[in-house]
Structure formats: structure tokens, C-alpha cells
Amino acid sequence: MYDPYSPSGWDIEGHGSVNVEDLFFDDNQLVWLCLDEITLEPITGDPMETRLEPVFWLSSKDLTHTLELTESELIPYLGG
């Protein structure tokens, strides 16, 4: 079933698209990370907030490294 708050892909203006199951290399940790999920979360902590932003959930295959990134934090992982 389609969940509008958990899209399978996201277009990042000027940087292309990312999709669940895409792989990214973390140069700091020297590990490959898989995009496990994209969720839409309120921009502020206010439960009445209506504006949402994407949050990208990544993890290594062995689950020793996990990241929760905003769109601007994910951009460096997209390369060129």
C-alpha cells in the first residue's frame, strides 16, 4: 500500500533523484550506506506543524552505521 509520508524516491533540485535502496559511500567512515527509507517529517517539533521536509534514513549492511539526514545533509553524498 502506498504511504504518502514515506515516498520511494525524492527529487533534489539541481542534484537529481534518489531512491530507496540507492547506495552512497561515506568517506569519513569508509563504508557503503543504503537508503532504507525516506519519510516526511514536520519542519519544527510542533505537532501542529503542517510543513513537511524529507528525512533520509541510511544504514550500512551490517547496521553498524546509521544516519538520519535532511536534504541538505544528503547532498554531499550525491557526488559531483
pLDDT digits (tens, 9 = 90+) for 38-49: 999 999 878 788
Q: What is the pLDDT of residues 6-31, one digit of tens each?
A: 899 999 999 999 999 999 999 988 99
Query: What whole-number distance in Å separates Cα of residue 8 and Cα of residue 39?
Result: 9
- Across the chain, what does the average pLDDT equal? 91
CA dihedral sign, ordered 76, 15, 41, 30: negative
Domain annotation covers residue 58: yes
How many domains is the chain built from? 1
Q: How many helices (H) and strands (E) does the chain have?
A: 1, 6
Is 80 inside any structural domain?
no
The predicted pLDDT at position 60 comes to 96
Residue 35 belongs to some domain of the structure? yes
**Residue 68 domain boundaries:** 1-7+22-40+51-74
Q: 62 lies in a domain?
A: yes
pTM of the entire predicted model: 0.88
